[in-house]
Amino acid sequence: MGVIIRSFIRKNRKTVLFYLLFLGIFYFVLYLYGVRADALNYIAFLSFLVFLFLGTVDFLLYRRKAGELEAAFGGLPFEMKSMSASCDLTEKMYQDAVENLYREYIRLKTDTGVARTEMMEFYGLWAHQIKTPLAAMDLLLQSSDFSGSRTGEEMKMELFRTRQYVDMVLTYLRAEDMSSDLVMKRYPLDDLIRQAVRNYSKVFILKKLKLEYEPLNAEVLTDEKWLVFVFGQILSNALKYTDSGMIRIRGEAENPGVVLIGDTGIGIQPEDLPRVFEKGFTGYNGRQDKKATGIGLYLCRMICERLGHAISISSKPGEGTTVRLDLSRKEFRHE
């Protein structure tokens, strides 16, 4: 109420000043003509009562108008209620402008939704179609002279990475609206980790990296598909930037819901650490690699936030990187 009163006074300050000035001139002129003081005071009192009555009525109308506008704009940008017609030309122009902007917003939102749906359908179709030639290439490699050789294994690894990128495209498109694709259950944490490890077993073998895995023996309330993708993306990054040594997966002693995935790779530069979860950020290592997209960790953070988990990274250049996944339940973002 205080805000409305102050706004009303500011809006009508010129009217109040004009009334006081007019009353002063009127009082002064009548005084010069010798009108008795009690008559002058009576005139001033009556005019003040009229002014107060009209001001009160105007204030009530102003407050009602403010309430109507608040109700009309309160649902923006999702809904805008109708507003009562205004006699003030300036106010009517503002109302028309807001209504036109809202209609344009709805049109753009509809067009964007249609375009996004068409894009997802296209990429979904493309992802399924491209898997056919990839599978054919895999069969050709198995039956070729390269089968079992170092070159053949490296070619299979490139095919595996290509499949990864295809899956990342679909994940990127679906992650923006993942609420319709969530199945929240309690899962044994070790089962989810083993799924991700199995997907990358050939990479471990090809790079001759050791996996040190300590079972966590814990359950987590999550979505299986999305969390396995997060585990897989973390393992993919660890394998990409680790040429020798090992990758270690373990739990946190004081918190069974925390998973630590560490490697002995090249590590991350200190100035890059605060930005590794930003969309499109590749950092020093990504620029050296020339193939980094800067999307993987961004997706991991987005998915973890919407599942109610937390993810963080610590690293030292030349010593390795550790990703900490806190899978204890936090506020679940159902979007």
Least confident stretch, 17-26, 40-49, 125-134, 254-263 = 125-134
Q: What is the mean pLDDT of residues 97-116?
A: 86
Q: Is the Cα torsion angle 59, 64, 70, 72 positive or negative in sign?
A: negative
pLDDT score for 333: 45
Give residue-wise pLDDT tens across range 299-328: 999 999 989 999 999 999 989 999 999 998
Q: Write out the two tokens for 215.
A: 């079972």
Give the other-Cβ count within 10 Å of 53's Cβ. 10
**Residue 289 pLDDT class (50, 70, 90 cuts):** low
The single-letter code of the amino acid at 71 is A
Question: Could you tell me what percent of the chain has a pLDDT over 90?
Answer: 27
Q: How far lies 147's CA from each of 37, 118, 140, 154, in Å?
A: 117, 40, 9, 10
pLDDT score for 147: 63
pLDDT score for 249: 95
Assess contact for 263 and 325: CB atoms under 8 A. no
